[in-house]
Amino acid sequence: MTSQTTIDTTGPGDQAPDATPGPVPAGLRGHPWLTLLTVAVGVMMVALDGTIVAIANPAIGKDLHASWAQLQWITNAYFLALAVSLITAGKLGDRFGHRQTFLIGVTGFAAASGAIGLSHSIGAVVTFRVFQGLFGALLMPAALGLLRATFPAEKLNMAIGIWGMVIGASTAGGPILGGVLVEHVNWQSVFFVNVPVGALALLLGALILLDHRAENAPRSFDLLGIALLSGAMFCLVWALIKAPTWGWGDGRTWLFIGVSVVGFALFSYWETRVKEPLIPLALFRSVPLSAGVVLMVLMAIAFMGGLFFVTFYLQNVHGMSPIDAGLHLLPLTGMMIVGSPLAGAMITRFGPRIPLAGGMAATAIAMYGMSTLKEGTGSGVMSVWFALLGLGLAPVMVGATEVIVGNAPMELSGVAGGLQQAAMQIGGSLGTAVLGAVMASKVDSTLADNWAGAGLPKLPPQQLHQAAEAVQQGVAPVTDDTPAPIAAKITEVAHHTFVTGMSLASLVAAGVAAVAVLVALLTKRGANAEAGAGVGHV
């Protein structure tokens, strides 16, 4: 980390002005490890929410009579709001202080979570998921900015490694906690659990966090840049989400894609003209930083997109309860928890390149293995692929964050944190949308033939479309009055068709992870981390 002058604006007596992160403060406020504990509680809440909902989707769909597209929006609305807002939120932290934005984000996120738990319609759930995303965008970059300002250079790598481990463990642990809550309480409890966690993070933050700001922090806002970037990102993700419904050949799909391309071009041009740009494009002259951002996108496409289907596979194809489905994902969670600190140690000693490339290679192999899953695949085989996926993701979660932050100056720590998180959230949204489109296309193209091949009566187009929507969730389109022999045939066809679609989506995810191996080879130690003196920083 480069030596940067910071100013404490929290209040008198907490730290001398113009001080760089150094000795551990005597009191609670500003203590580095207590700061890490505080931001970890807030980050855990947001990261957990990214995947805990996946295990609850079947229950939400049943209770609120939601379609496949509406269930996707529960995930997509959250990721879309996060992705569009993260970089702007990071800039807000750089300008007004990361402590304030963190506390506002924690409060708003917990409040939105409670509102979802009280909702009685799918529209309300999706709306408050947007608010969750917006407030989550405030606290995620702020957390990283607080760590960057609080920890001395020789300790920053360790802090970011633990921070990455919390995100990885929370992301992977979401399905397990979600399974327990959905089975023993209800799906609303998946959201209510954020209220006490948020209250704890708010209390700790008010007592512990110290608001450091870089002396040369931005003094103005690039409002036009914010509008151009937000609009471009929204149009891109919107097009990808709506393409399965509209069709990839539909003019509306390409209209939104075209608008997004124009928006990105205008944003890039404007950033070279404005005095204090939202994202100084000079940041991307760093090949390792750019590679780290791309790596986060590719990793999230493979991981988040693939995980979306696995929950339906376990519950609807294998007939597992939510808690059993979560427990079957325990190898994934366990390997991420165990692998993250090990990955941090390897990256600190050897640099990020080999661990990141090896992690993405393991991810590619795991996704290929998941493409071989069948309707009757046993738990042992599934556990092998889930464990390998967790082992592969761990170094990427930790290392890519360090690569991005280590190559950004202190005064842009919020923007760097926003870039890192935006890349992950965009990747998650793209993964769900693109792999969802792959799944839908495969089901649509094979269901009619599989249906006829089983000797079932031909369905009219409207009924076939409705059946395809159910099959995309692994659900057999049978009614209570369907004769048992016919219901058995329909179930067999539905599950086989779903697994065929999931296999193709997993192969696409494996291909994305394979490309990410090459991107990982472009990473290296961050210049700012190298300034940490004497120890092998990443």
pLDDT in tens, 65-88: 877 667 777 877 887 787 788 888
pLDDT at 351 over 90: no
Q: What is the pLDDT of residue 538?
A: 30
The set of residues, in sequence order, having a beta carbon less than 8 Å from that of 203 and lying 6+ positions away, is none
The residue behind tokens 């187009």 is 461
The average pLDDT across 288-296 equals 85
pLDDT at 411 over 70: no
Residue-range definition of the domain harbouring residue 202: 21-210+276-444+498-530
Point out the domain boundary residue: 255, 275, 295: 275
- Stretch among 42-46, 89-93, 115-119 having the lowest mean pLDDT: 89-93
Please tell me whether residues 404 and 342 are part of one structural domain: yes
- Stretch among 24-38, 127-141, 389-403 having the lowest mean pLDDT: 24-38
Looking at the structure of the chain, the number of domains it has is: 2
Which H helix or E strand runs over 212? Answer: strand 212-214
DSSP state of 531: T
The pair of three-digit structure tokens given for residue 7, joined into one six-digit string: 């100013």
pTM: 0.76
The average pLDDT across 291-315 equals 83
Residues written for the chain: 538
pLDDT at 376 over 90: no
User: Which long-range contacts does 485-489 make (Cβ < 8 Å, 24+ apart)?
Assistant: 486/456, 489/454, 489/455, 489/456
Please tell me whether residues 308 and 249 are part of one structural domain: no
Please tell me whether residues 253 and 284 are part of one structural domain: no
Point out the domain boundary residue: 275, 293, 311: 275
pLDDT at 5 over 50: no
Amino acid at 28: L
Please tell me whether residues 99 and 189 are part of one structural domain: yes
Q: What is the pLDDT of residue 213?
A: 63
In a domain, 406, yes or no: yes
The average pLDDT across 427-456 equals 84
**pLDDT confidence bin for 357, thresholds 50/70/90:** very high
Please tell me whether residues 363 and 262 are part of one structural domain: no
In a domain, 306, yes or no: yes
Q: What is the pLDDT of residue 88?
A: 85
The average pLDDT across 474-483 equals 83
Point out the domain boundary residue: 236, 260, 275: 275
Please tell me whether residues 312 and 352 are part of one structural domain: yes
Nearest in space to 14 (alpha carbons), one of 209, 149, 166: 209
**pLDDT confidence bin for 362, thresholds 50/70/90:** very high
Please tell me whether residues 82 and 158 are part of one structural domain: yes
Please tell me whether residues 59 and 201 are part of one structural domain: yes
- Stretch among 163-167, 335-339, 442-446 having the lowest mean pLDDT: 163-167
The set of residues, in sequence order, having a beta carbon less than 8 Å from that of 52 and lying 6+ positions away, is 174, 175, 177, 178, 181, 190
The residue behind tokens 């539909």 is 250
